[in-house]
Structure 1
Amino acid sequence: MSNKKCGIDRIGETISREVAGYTADIQMGVIQLVDTKADELKEAIKKAAPVGKRKKYRRSFKVKVTNELNAYYEKTVFASGKEYRLTHLLEKPHASRKGGTVMPKVHIAPASEQIHKEFENEVKKLILSSKAMGGGIKRK
């Protein structure tokens, strides 16, 4: 925050400018965090993905920007090509060709939950340590 003096007639402008600076600082930090966490999620899924006859499945995971508006930034991790069909079959139990049930090999859900928790904690840290908030003032 700036230490400039302002008159009562300009206090609204000054508050708006300070809040806009704080918001922009947080937005840029969150965008960078989304980028890094999306890549981490992709790598965690690849590492945990089962390898069977189809070795392409593990390599098929990609990241893309699915929404990029002013206050909304979203990336999606997905299985590309024909391999996208396997994600549901591997995550959920299903009937086999010979009868019976195929047990799931869950690998996407645990990685996703872990990355979401880390993301939430990192956003909290980002907000508390923002330069606009005074460079790391911890409030209780």
Structure 2
Amino acid sequence: LWMLAAAAHDLRILAENCHRRGGDCEITAAIVADLFDTVEGAEEKQSPALVQLYKTLTALGSFFLVRGDLELARQLRARLAHVPDATLEQVRRELTACENPVFWEVTDRVVNFDFVEPDVRAGLPAFLEPVECWPAPAAALLRS
């Protein structure tokens, strides 16, 4: 459980840093694809880590939406399309409630996997809406 969550978190941070530093789009897309593979494997096994993995997808999707990378945001939102609304609401609630990046009780990483930066946290509700409901111009661009 912890290893899946840690691996997914690491992929999220790699993708964010690659994007933030203007890295090659193909590298960022490959990192996101690795994250999708991780989630797919967990879904096949009905892993108890699924909610944590959905949090990772949601946080990364909100990151891309807030930063204007609508294609990657759309891909991440599409990957969550089958997740029940109640689970997505739980994900939103838990990510929105987490304001402390430090977590020391379980791991020596001193990292709270649920922490997202305030601007990304603010974008969570919009990201979790269906793509058709995203604010313009995002919705128009994503439908094309």
TM value normalised by structure 1: 0.25
Larger radius of gyration: 1
Q: Which of the pair is proportionally richer in helix?
A: 2
